[in-house]
Chains A and B, each alone.
Chain A
């Protein structure tokens, strides 16, 4: 009865079902936790199987209800979807583990798990959706759940931040829906493959519709993925969320919207449009601004989590830069960066969350000498920070190298210089954290390391940072195929 062809839908359905069962068993917290972790583990195994199958046999198409493409709902798992859903499932499994074993920060734990499960299900759905309207529905579910996992902390700041995020996110959804309406008007299809084929014929007849749709979509998904001038909700939202939520939001959620943008703008509207319209130049400018301004804002932060949040703005700029440079290696670099930034930022957010919980200090200037009290945690933070800066031997170096080489390939050496400058700036804002922690007088003898179960995710992620820094060839075939698919 079970064959691998059903795996894509099972991934989404498992997470959704678990998300509905967990609140029902909220009285038995142990069962809820087991279900939560079990669902994450099952989905991770399925995503590995799917990725292997896609590498071997090419794109998988799943017709829900047995109805084929133009009329039915389909899930399309190509190399891009397989890669991103692999990243989502592995990183989210680590975060699930942390959320279960870390000291509790939220009042309603079962409800929190259910929201995280819904968010993860929606992320898988966004990545695999074959038609544009299902993509929209999953974007909405993930937006709501993302706002909710900030608000569950219940503090003054987190409620305010999540409300602002909700309003801006709803604006973004409106833009996205408008652009879908305009595209539906031109093509009469919702399936992305058929849309692409029809657009090749009709886009020339209705250029205004396509142009407006593209504009609405850049704004809509730009707000959600915190592209620079539209990022104003991000620092507050990511800094005031519970630790596991911050990691999930910064590491994965922001990037999933970039994936949605790539799916619609690059893979549905088609590359030809990019040579006709100045959209690529606009994206390049916005990405460069994100890199420079985000770094400058990060330098002046004293609150550690806000620093990390601004660093996310910078990294989103990197990913958009790679995708809009449009040379093979730049796109590969951006695809790499989706994975590598997810690992690094999750590591940093989790480790900083542990430090904040153990010591009660939220500011860099308070960390004097904590590195000697919590050696393992600060070793992980140091590794993450080095990788963020892009020191050779860590994972961050690989994606930056690809991006810089891609910029040279595209004949725009200035962007390679920009990446270099940004590495320098990120050293400026990450090194004070490490230096204050290791040097300076030891003022807090009561602080100690957390339990081993809490440290396990940090160690796993640090090993992943080292692993991809030294042996990047493991996922290379999938990344190559993805880049080729985007550049098609």
Chain B
């Protein structure tokens, strides 16, 4: 009982700094969450799921990460610039993939005839769909994280666009 009280007081004292239970559990949990998100991303063209769902799972894991380790290790924290960079990079890759079709003389975002399509049902198939899914995943996870960070910073920057 006495031990419990001691432990509890210690916890309260360091509550603003870091919580050991959260850190340990998250250290165990985060790789699996992110792996699951990656699985959803990479199988976007084979099963239900895809860019948004996978990106949302990864983004949620990143939010969890910055919530848990935000105060403990400042240098490990993912800063706002990085998330904005991922947000823009995802969109730009999408547009770039669209322009590849244009360069080969087809319409914008053409898949057939431009990208190798592969065998349906295998992981490396479906041409540009996989690339686009990954780009969307980067964008969605970056957006979710940067939305979180903006709300955290007190709504100082009102960019909430999709």
- Check whether chain A touches chain B (CB < 8 angstroms): yes
Chain A: residues with CB nearer than 8 A to chain B? 1-2, 6, 9-10, 13, 16-17, 20-21, 23-24, 62-66, 108, 111, 114-115, 118, 140-141, 144-145, 148, 151-152, 154
Q: What CA separation (Å) do A145 and B159 show in the bound complex?
A: 9
Q: What CA separation (Å) do A20 and B112 show in the bound complex?
A: 27
Q: What CA separation (Å) do A325 and B84 show in the bound complex?
A: 49
Give the contact-size bracket for chain B: 20 to 34
Contact A148-B160, Cβ < 8 Å, known A1-B103, A20-B92, A24-B85: yes
Q: What CA separation (Å) do A2 and B99 show in the bound complex?
A: 11
Are B106 and A66 in contact, with the CB atoms below 8 A? yes
Are A16 and B161 in contact, with the CB atoms below 8 A? no
Are A64 and B102 in contact, with the CB atoms below 8 A? no
Residues of A near B98 (CB, < 8 A) are: 13
CB distance from A163 to the nearest CB of B (A): 11
Are B161 and A65 in contact, with the CB atoms below 8 A? no
Q: Which residue of B lies closest to A144 (CB)?
A: B161
Q: Apart from A65-B109, A111-B157, A148-B161, what 11 extra A-B contacts exist at CB < 8 Å?
A: A9-B107, A13-B95, A17-B91, A23-B159, A24-B84, A63-B107, A66-B106, A66-B107, A66-B110, A144-B161, A148-B159
Are A17 and B92 in contact, with the CB atoms below 8 A? yes
Are B84 and A23 in contact, with the CB atoms below 8 A? yes
Q: Can you list 5 residue pairs at the A/B interface with Cβ under 8 Å?
A: A6-B102, A24-B88, A65-B101, A115-B161, A145-B161
Q: Taking chain A's interface residues, is the majority helix, strand, or loop, or is none over half, making it mixed?
A: helix
Q: What CA separation (Å) do A63 and B98 show in the bound complex?
A: 13
Q: Which of A6, A114, A148, A151 contacts B107 (CB 8 A)?
A: A6
Are B92 and A21 in contact, with the CB atoms below 8 A? yes
Q: What CA separation (Å) do A348 and B103 show in the bound complex?
A: 44
CB distance from A349 to the nearest CB of B (A): 21
B158 is an interface residue with CB less than 8 A from chain A: yes
Are B108 and A9 in contact, with the CB atoms below 8 A? yes
Q: Which residue of B lies closest to A149 (CB)?
A: B158
Q: Which residue of A lies closest to B128 (CB)?
A: A65
Are B159 and A111 in contact, with the CB atoms below 8 A? yes
CB distance from A407 to the nearest CB of B (A): 41
Are B91 and A20 in contact, with the CB atoms below 8 A? yes
What 7 A-B pairs have minimum CB-CB distances, sorted nearest first?
A65-B109, A66-B110, A9-B108, A20-B91, A20-B88, A151-B158, A66-B107
Q: What CA separation (Å) do A400 and B156 show in the bound complex?
A: 45
Q: What CA separation (Å) do A359 and B29 show in the bound complex?
A: 60
Residues of A near B87 (CB, < 8 A) are: 20
Q: Which of A1, A10, A16, A141 contacts B91 (CB 8 A)?
A: A16
Q: Which of A62, A64, A66, A115 has the most CB of B within 10 A?
A: A66
B111 is an interface residue with CB less than 8 A from chain A: yes
Q: Which residue of B lies closest to A63 (CB)?
A: B107
Q: What CA separation (Å) do A118 and B85 show in the bound complex?
A: 17
Residues of A near B120 (CB, < 8 A) are: none
Q: Which of A13, A66, A111 contacts B112 (CB 8 A)?
A: A66
CB distance from A67 to the nearest CB of B (A): 9
Q: Which residue of B lies closest to A145 (CB)?
A: B161
Q: What CA separation (Å) do A17 and B93 show in the bound complex?
A: 10
CB distance from B103 to the nearest CB of A (A): 6
Are A16 and B159 in contact, with the CB atoms below 8 A? no
Q: For residues 101 through 124 of chain B, which have their beta carbon under 8 Å from a beta carbon of chain A?
A: 101-103, 105-113
Interface string of B65-89 (1 = CB under 8 A from A): 0000000000000000000110110
Residues of B near A23 (CB, < 8 A) are: 84, 88, 159
Contact A65-B111, Cβ < 8 Å, known A1-B103, A21-B92, A24-B88: yes
Q: Which residue of B lies closest to A13 (CB)?
A: B95
Are A6 and B91 in contact, with the CB atoms below 8 A? no
B154 is an interface residue with CB less than 8 A from chain A: no
Residues of A near B158 (CB, < 8 A) are: 148, 151-152, 154
Are B162 and A144 in contact, with the CB atoms below 8 A? yes
Q: What CA separation (Å) do A374 and B64 show in the bound complex?
A: 57
CB distance from B108 to the nearest CB of A (A): 5
CB distance from B149 to the nearest CB of A (A): 14
Are B84 and A1 in contact, with the CB atoms below 8 A? no
Contact A65-B95, Cβ < 8 Å, known A6-B102, A111-B157, A152-B158: no
Are A141 and B112 in contact, with the CB atoms below 8 A? no
CB distance from B158 to the nearest CB of A (A): 5
Are B107 and A65 in contact, with the CB atoms below 8 A? yes
Residues of A near B85 (CB, < 8 A) are: 24
CB distance from A10 to the nearest CB of B (A): 8
Residues of A near B112 (CB, < 8 A) are: 66
Residues of B near A141 (CB, < 8 A) are: 161-162
Are A65 and B110 in contact, with the CB atoms below 8 A? yes
Q: What CA separation (Å) do A140 and B162 show in the bound complex?
A: 10
CB distance from B82 to the nearest CB of A (A): 12
Are B108 and A13 in contact, with the CB atoms below 8 A? yes
Residues of B near A144 (CB, < 8 A) are: 160-162
Residues of B near A148 (CB, < 8 A) are: 158-161
